[in-house]
Homo-oligomer: A and B are copies of this chain.
Amino acid sequence: MAKNVFYAQSGGVTAVINATACGVIETARKSRKIGKVLAGRNGILGAFREELVDTSQESPSAIAALRHTPSGAFGSCRYKLKSIEENEAEYMRLLDVFRAHDIGYFFYNGGGDSQDTAHKVSQLSTDLGYPLTCIGIPKTVDNDLPLTDTCPGFGSVAKYVAVSTMEAGLDVASMAESSTKIFVLEVMGRHAGWIAAAGGLARDSANAPPHVILFPEIAFDKAMFLAKVKATVDRVGYCVVVASEGAQYADGTFLADAGASDAFGHTQLGGVAPALVEIIKGAHGYKCHWSVADYLQRAARHIASATDVAQAYAVGEAAVRFALEGRNAVMPVIRRRSSSPYRWDIDEAPLNKVANVEKKMPRSFITRDGFGITSKAKEYLAPLIMGEDYPPYRDGLPKYVRLKNQLVRKKLPPFEPS
């Protein structure tokens, strides 16, 4: 008999995680071996609470529109599953819900923590004899999953950051003679500098912005930074800085947290960009502007990378294919066949090799002075932002879909995870 799929979105959402959902649902709908796709309302919380969205209630056009709709259509969550020894009740609950709703496939769409959850659930089914095929599906703007060439979600943030850096760079260049000389753009990346690195794609000549990139991987040296900024202004007339939110001093103190509270215990207002602007103004007195992209960067479906959208869809499609082929405890990954011309396909990786491993920027991707990206990094990054994949518009605004999100009838007593 055709078993149902449980699909859930986990962790920070992206511009293209719904494209993955679209890939899962459209592919599952084509198979007679799969019943319904039931989506967790707010990620794994939906499984615990037996809040399962019945995606069979959604029209083909609504599902198709997921491909161009940012964010998590079913809701996401931040929730890390403990080990079975620590919290057996939660695992038992998951099995109860899966059993009650005839779920034979568990698809978990997320980053490192989520792949850990997928891995734990896959062990559970083996240990407790409940037949469940577990597939992890990669997603994270941080691009820090191992074994995959890139992570769906990253390419679109990379494109947003590269385009925004180019645009703001032109702006500052126009103003620099009599006004703003410094622009600082703060981007995501608490542990890895992939997103900041993407800003470097905007640089098409020696004097073009960005002139300085700050990575979490490179200890922040205030004197060197200030010297670089001044030398750039002296030479080019202005200076554009792209900074990871995770930029930090050698002792591990985040720039955003430095001086986080004064003598009265008042919390200072955070952000790497304003912190850098204070440092620059204090030393050089330049007029500065700064921007914090935050959610705008990861939600910016309007400027998504066509490559990223295609890959996000492909991993969703592959998850269903893998499941139907009986593979278990694996994650589809993107394999690069060549950079120029860019060719890629889908491969697989075992979940136990993916969970809890964080891929940082290789040192060879960062220039010797620590303030820029190398041609090797550009070769890696450039294909990921290729192509535009615009959503349809109506009255000047994107036509993003909101699903009905109708829940299936509950069969079990209430349960709330700890």
Q: Chain A interface (Cβ within 8 Å of chain B)?
A: 9, 12-13, 15, 42-43, 45, 69-73, 75-79, 159, 162-164, 166-168, 170-175, 177-179, 183, 185, 201-202, 259, 262-264, 266-271, 273-275, 277-278, 289-296, 298-303, 305, 307, 382, 385-388, 390, 393, 395-398, 400
Contacts and interface: CB of A to CB of B under 8 A. Distances in A.
B294 A290 contact: yes
Given A71-B170, A164-B296, 7 more contacts: A70-B167, A70-B171, A71-B174, A171-B295, A171-B298, A291-B294, A382-B396
A162 B278 CA distance: 30
A164 B382 contact: no
A311 to B, nearest CB: 14
A41 to B, nearest CB: 8
A301 B395 contact: no
Given A166-B397, A296-B168, A13 B263 contact: no
A15 to B, nearest CB: 8
Contact of A299 (B170, B278, B397): B170
Nearest to A237: B75
A396 B170 contact: no
Contact of A170 (B43, B70, B269): B70
B398 A163 contact: yes
A183 B295 CA distance: 8
Contacts of A76: 174-175, 179
Nearest to A386: B396
A396 B385 contact: yes
B159 A396 contact: yes
A71 B173 contact: yes
Contacts of A291: 292-296
8 contacts: A42-B178, A71-B171, A166-B400, A167-B400, A168-B296, A269-B269, A271-B271, A274-B274
**Most B CB atoms within 10 A — which of A294, A307, A385?**
A294
B178 A77 contact: yes
Contacts of A397: 162-163, 166, 201-202, 385
List the 5 shortest-distance A-B pairs measured between CB atoms, nearest first: A71-B170, A72-B174, A269-B274, A385-B396, A167-B299
Nearest to A290: B294
Given A386-B395, A395-B382, A170 B400 contact: yes
A296 B159 contact: no
Contact of A289 (B71, B201, B295): B295
A212 B69 CA distance: 23
A78 B167 contact: no
A390 B390 contact: yes
Contacts of A393: 388
A76 to B, nearest CB: 5
A262 B78 CA distance: 36
Contacts of A303: 302-303
A168 B300 CA distance: 8
A262 B271 contact: no
Contacts of A71: 167, 170-171, 173-174
Contacts of A173: 71, 75
Contacts of A77: 177-179
